[in-house]
Amino acid sequence: MIYLKHSAAVLLAVLSFTYADAQQHNKTQKKTTMEQKQATVKLLKAIETGEAAPVAVINANSYKQHNLAVADGLAGFGALLQALPKGSAKVNTVRVFQDGNYVFAQTDYNFFGPKIGFDIFRFEDGKIVEHWDNLQETQKPNPSGHTMIDGATEVKDLDKTEVNKTLVSNFVDDILVNGKMERLSSYFDGDNYIQHNPNIGDGLSGLGKALQEWAKQGITMKYDKIHIVLGEGNFVLVVSEGQLGGKHTSFYDLFRIENGKIAEHWDVIETITPQSEWKNQNGKFNF
């Protein structure tokens, strides 16, 4: 009996230490996530302010660039900033998320003209070592009055991150890659769907109307491959490659999930330039 009591006490002690370690790990992880998100926002803002300190978050010895219009490394980033007309840049990061070593942000830019952009940064040992982005010229509000950047911003349902990533990945694969339109309605709550694409109105009805108009104009849109799916809570970003109007295209789609259904959508669509024009050879989609 004494032995059993002793064993139980040891077990309780071990469980207590394990729980305490887990709690400390969670706190450390949350702190690191917040720090990396803040560092990302400050780095992007430095494009506008010209501050040098935020750039220190970039690993100067190992920084791989996937924006094909920018030369590789920190030197390429510096050359890009120098090319900006003085005082012209404006940066307002509206949403920032983190999934593992990746921080991804949605930003309203004036960057060689008004643009909306998604940026993805990969961290390693607390420093940024890799960058991808997608940029599109800012458009007028869509038929439902939504801009490319407004809407919900609060991250919720952190415990559902993986479930939501799977849902959105399945949606893009089913509908946009494979055209299984019979499954379309299963991903939405009726016609309740907020749309931020500048050419499409709210709801599945708005999507259907836009697709009909494009068909009349001979415009086709085809997703060929999903390259990465990143998420935090109720927000999921999908990076895909395909064709729009016969042009090689990069699609960045951000979805907000609510009660297991897609509730809101933002996107940035960028035509991929010919390889002969690239300033680095790292590729647009090498994750």
Q: What is the pLDDT of residues 75-133, one digit of tens each?
A: 999 999 899 888 899 999 999 999 999 999 999 999 999 999 999 999 999 999 999 99
Q: What CATH number has the domain bearing residue 190?
A: 3.10.450.50
3-class secondary structure per residue, 78-109: HHHHHHCCCCCCEEEEEEEEEECCEEEEEEEE
**120 and 37 share a domain?**
yes
**Residue numbers of the domain that contains 81:** 2-136
Residue 176 forms part of a structural domain? yes
Residue 79 forms part of a structural domain? yes
**8 and 131 share a domain?**
yes
**95 and 175 share a domain?**
no
**18 and 129 share a domain?**
yes
**81 and 193 share a domain?**
no
Residue 131 forms part of a structural domain? yes
**55 and 18 share a domain?**
yes
Residue 283 forms part of a structural domain? no
Nearest in space to 98 (alpha carbons), one of 67, 123, 116, 64: 123
Give the Cα separation of 116 and 120 in Å (integer). 14
Query: Does residue 49 register a pLDDT over 90?
Result: yes
Among 136, 168, 188, where does a domain finish?
A: 136
**188 and 112 share a domain?**
no
Number of domains in the chain: 2
**74 and 171 share a domain?**
no
Confidence of residue 213 (pLDDT cuts 50, 70, 90): confident
CA–CA distances in Å: residue 84 to residues 1, 53, 89, 108, 152:
78, 19, 7, 16, 31
- For residues 66 and 130, is the Cβ–Cβ distance under 8 A? yes
Q: Look at residue 205 in the predicted model and tell me its pLDDT.
A: 87
**100 and 174 share a domain?**
no
- Tally of CB atoms within 10 A around 30: 10
Residue 26 forms part of a structural domain? yes
Residue 191 forms part of a structural domain? yes
Among 106, 136, 166, where does a domain finish?
A: 136
Give the Cα separation of 148 and 134 in Å (integer). 13
**201 and 120 share a domain?**
no
User: Which amino acid, 254?
Assistant: L
Per-residue tokens: 177 = 């890659």
Q: Look at residue 120 in the predicted model and tell me its pLDDT.
A: 98
